[in-house]
Amino acid sequence: MSVVFYLVAALTIAGGLAAVLLKNLVHAALAVTVAFLGLALLFLSLDAQFAGFAQILVYIGAVAILIVFAILLTRGSDLPKDGVFSRTWLIGLAIAAAVFSVLGWAVLRSGPVLPNQSAVPTVTVHDIGVALVRRYVLPLEIVALLLTAATIGAVIVAMHEKGGSQ
Amino acid sequence: MIDKMDQVFVLLQHWLVSFLPANLQAFAAVLLSVIVIVLLFPALFALTTVFERKGLGRIQNRLGPNRVGPFGFFQPVADGIKSLTKEDIVPSSANAPVHFLAPIVLVVAVFMGFAVLPMGRNMVLVDMDAGLLFYFAMGASTEVSVFMAGWSSRNKYSLLGAMRAVAQMISYEVVLLLSSVSVVMIAGSLSLPKIVEAQNQYTWGLPHWYIFTPWGLAGFVMYAIAATAETNRSPFDLPEGESELVAGYHTEYSGFKFALFFLGEYLAMFSISGLGTTLFLGGWSAPFSALTWIPSWIWFFSKLMLSIFVFIWMRGTLPRLRQDQLMNFAWKFVLPFTLLNLMVTALWRFMGEGWERWVVCTAILGVVWVVMGRIEMRSEHFGPRSYRYAE
């Protein structure tokens, strides 16, 4: 367990660092994909099959491709002469560090509060499905509605304005 | 005896593994299965290339390969030696690391899909609770490799081919997923062996395959269309349209790297046919209860090769679509129909046993199929083709 964990963690962190540090935008996008894969493997090593596969399906299959399309369709893969680093990277670093410390603090403090579970609960995909359509059906439907609205909005934005009568 | 034949590979694996010390046995069993998968499907690929070229030759009224070995059956050996000894050319402006990684990522991702396919009774490498999800997760990863190949070649034809391929794969992946969801709704499981078990029952000697239900037939047709598009096979092979794009995203690959792309394409075809077989055609179960004495793995691979034959047949018969036709077809016909099929499946599930659900579901699907087809073909005018620039 621990060897696998350290290997996967190293892969994830390397992917994340490469995504930030690489100069070439497409390389950075591919490095993000590696980080996503590392996260999925972490989920899998925790025996969370659904989360792991959904991570691969959504993040590598859709989000990474979306990022790549956005890069290629906006300004080409040619890199600007002055590099791709923002001038406000120091502030960004500070904000990231703050978010990380809050999250880390919350995770570390939550340990003693939770009831001490001796056995690892076995959650099958079936259980997740049942929970989604029984207990959490309202949030699920709200998300579905929101996504449909977003899709329609995207279509309206992308639609040709016919005639120009308005 | 019949049981022994059915389980011959499982028994063979157990026998081979039993020579090892106990703590290595589980690992060795997995390793053995992986080796068999990694050897078997490329061998099948070699065989399929001969059949494809000979089959296409027959369709196109010519002979096909007939020089190497008896009836040209050693052609893949010659092809393999050729691609191994060919110079590996990497364009000087190519992005070398990504260019190198792309074919490897493709082949690895495609091979992973075989891990969850049940190829016979008890013959599945990993019986995962979320097997179907795993399969689609691996399928989604191939898109990244296609993009990597196209972008890193620094060739506009490669990039155009890759963009076409990725756009097409994303569009049809939605259909592929949604048409499989209806099977999951009825079977009540994402585990592929469980889905096969659910279909492995007989009434009056006939199997309960999902293709023999109205929603299953509609779902299978949609799945087959999406699978053809997903594997970039004709008539959806625009990403490698020779006349306009040379060879699409693998234009700049030569030698063994090209062979890997070729292998990846055929392996994707095998695995997607295997999944279609598992979901709709009853996997390894026999088509009649009287034929259950034939080993289950023979049934699985027969159905697989039958699907491959249909792929080849379609390639020899249908002309290639245009990009706008491809996208319109995906988003305006196939996707709405698949969504409707999902609702019909739910209706089927809740109407319970009886003949009513057969009539109602068939009627809904049939009427919508005809009406949607009529409406969408209304604006099409068939006549002599007009050219804008090439007159």
Residue of B129, B147, B170 with shortest CB distance to A125: B129
Q: Residue A126 and residue B143: Cβ atoms within 8 Å? A: no
Contact call for B133 and A125, based on CB within 8 A: yes
pLDDT of residue A14: 92
Q: B16 or A111, which is more confident?
A: B16
Report pLDDT for A138. Answer: 92
Q: A89 vs B381, which has greater pLDDT?
A: A89
A126 and B189: CB-CB below 8 Å? yes
Kindly list the residues from chain B whose CB atom is less than 8 angstroms away from the CB atom of residue A49.
128-130, 133-134
Return the pLDDT at B157. Answer: 85
A60 contacts B130? CB cut-off 8 A:
no
Q: Which residues of chain A have a CB within 8 Å of the CB of B139?
A: 61
- B69-102 residue pLDDT tens: 788 788 888 888 888 888 888 888 878 888 888 8
Judged against a pLDDT cut of 70, whether residue A77 lies above it is answered with: no
Averaged pLDDT of chain A: 82
CB contacts of B144 in chain A (<8 Å) are 30, 33, 60, 64-65
Peptide bond into B319 cis (omega under 30): no
Which residue ranges in chain B fall short of pLDDT 70? 390-391
SS (H, E, C) chain B: CHHHHHCHHHHHHHHHHCCCCHHHHHHHHHHHHHHHHHHHHHHHHHHHHHHHHHHHHHHCCCCCCCCCCHHHCCHHHHHHHHHHHCCCCCCCCCCHHHHHHHHHHHHHHHHHHHHHCCCCCCCCCCCCCCHHHHHHHHHHHHHHHHHHHHHHCCCHHHHHHHHHHHHHHHHHHHHHHHHHHHHHHHHCCCCHHHHHHHHCCEECCEECCHHHCHHHHHHHHHHHHHHHHHCCCCCCCHHHCHHHHCCHHHCCCCHHHHHHHHHHHHHHHHHHHHHHHHHHCCCCCCCCHHHCCCCHHHHHHHHHHHHHHHHHHHHHHCCCCCHHHHHHHHHHHHHHHHHHHHHHHHHHHHHCCCCHHHHHHHHHHHHHHHHHHHHHHHCCCCCCCCCCCCC
> Looking at residue A101, what is its pLDDT?
94
A61/B104: higher pLDDT: B104
Give the pLDDT band of residue A146 (cuts 50, 70, 90): very high
Please give the Cα distance from B261 to B254 (Å, whole number).
10
Give chain A's length: 166
Residue A99 in this model has a pLDDT that exceeds 90? yes
Q: How far apart are CA B140 and CA A142, in angstroms?
A: 26
The beta-carbon neighbor of B148 closest among A30, A56, A69 is A30
pLDDT of A94 strictly over 90: yes
CA distance, residue A146 to nearest chain B CA (Å)? 18
Give the nearest partner residue to A56 out of B141, B151, B188, using CB atoms: B141
pLDDT recorded at residue A161: 67
Given CB atoms, is B174 within the 8 Å cutoff of chain A?
A: no
Contact check, Cβ <8 Å, B163/A72:
yes
Q: How far is CA B283 from the centre of its chain?
A: 14
Q: Which fold has domain A1-80?
A: Four Helix Bundle (Hemerythrin (Met), subunit A) (1.20.120)
Is residue B173 within 8 angstroms of chain A, CB to CB? yes
Give how far B149 is from chain A: nearest CA, Å: 12
Residues of B in contact with A54 (CB under 8 A): 133, 137
Q: Looking at per-residue confidence, does B7 or A76 come out higher?
A: B7
Q: Is B170 on the interface with A (CB under 8 A)?
A: yes
- Chain B contact for A70, CB < 8 A? no
How much is the pLDDT for A165?
45
Whether the CB of B41 is below 8 Å from some CB of chain A: the reply is: no
Shortest distance, CA B275 to any CA of chain A (angstroms): 17
pLDDT tens digits, A123-145: 777 888 888 888 899 999 999 99
Q: Dig out the tokens for B40 from the structure.
A: 């078997």
Q: A61–B173: do the CB atoms touch at under 8 Å?
A: yes
Q: Are B236 and B271 in contact (CB under 8 A)?
A: no
The alpha-carbon gap from B8 to the nearest alpha carbon of chain A, in Å, equals: 31
Question: A8 — contact with chain B (CB < 8 Å)?
Answer: no
- Pick from B274, B262, B225: nearest CA to B106: B262
Interchain contact, A65 vs B166, CB within 8 Å: yes
Q: Which residues of B touch A30 (CB under 8 A)?
A: 98, 144, 148
Could you give the CA distance from residue A84 to residue A29 in angstroms, rounded to a whole number? 13
- B342 near A CB under 8 A: no
For B144, the closest chain A residue by CA position comes to: A65
CA B160/CA B163 separation, integer angstroms? 5
Mutation site, A57, A127, A148, interface B, largest B CB count within 10 A: A57
Largest CA distance in chain A: 69
Q: Where are the domains of chain A?
A: 1-80, 122-161
Task: State how far residue B138 is from chain A, nearest Cα, in angstroms.
Answer: 8
